[in-house]
Amino acid sequence: MVERQSALKPRSGCLAVVDLDGTYLRQNSLRIFLRCALEQALADGKPTMVARLVIKAALRKLRLITHARMKFDMLSAIALTDKLKDRFRARALACINPRIAAELDKFWNDGGRVLLATAAADMYVPLIWEGKYVATAMVDNPDRLESRGTRKLAAVIRYANDNNLRITDVFTDHADDLPLMANAGADRVVLVNPSAATIAAANMAGVKNLTVWTD
């Protein structure tokens, strides 16, 4: 029994949870994807698609629709062609934060598991992430609920429980993840290039084991 335990890697049974936008990626994946979709529509000569995307973006800028409404309306109108996939993948992968990627690789090599937990759409997350993830569903989601806040926390805990894992590390950049930071029971919560407001919110929420990483 002692020999079997000593053979285990140090992170066996541990789960690291990482946010996508502003954390694993230095930029916002939705903005990248929508920009790529607009460029591809222009290149393919699809004026109707261009007009739909531009109108929705303008409505959001004027605050006539919510961010979630804009997100679901625009993404549901986009055809995920091979050309768009390639364009987006190249643009997004160039934005990976190397420090986070290296930390996750080390965690994985030490026997841990890594879960991407994001409010980004599940229609494009697999294009830039090969592992397990929880994301905003674009189908079978009639209420258009995003995977953020307490919903993200619930999905992460469900994944951990289903796989007999303990959440030990959380990486995020934003106060949207306060439920995850404060309630997941992690040994380490890493804020990646956070704003002063995010740091203050984390401290006010009593987040334990807080670390700040800045470039």
* Ordered per-residue pLDDT tens for the chain, 215 residues: 333 444 578 999 999 999 999 999 999 999 999 999 999 999 999 999 999 999 999 999 999 999 999 999 999 999 999 999 999 999 999 999 999 999 999 999 999 999 999 999 999 999 999 999 999 999 999 999 999 999 999 999 999 999 999 999 999 999 999 999 999 899 999 999 999 999 999 999 999 999 999 98
Residue 12: HSE in the Cβ half-sphere, 13 Å Cα cutoff: 7
Helix (H) or strand (E) holding 7: helix 2-7
Distance of alpha carbon 32 from alpha carbon 95, whole angstroms: 10
Is residue 114 within 8 A of residue 16, CB to CB? The reply is yes
Q: From CA 40, how far away is CA 33, in angstroms rounded?
A: 10
Whole-number Å distance between alpha carbons of 140 and 146: 12
pTM of structure: 0.93
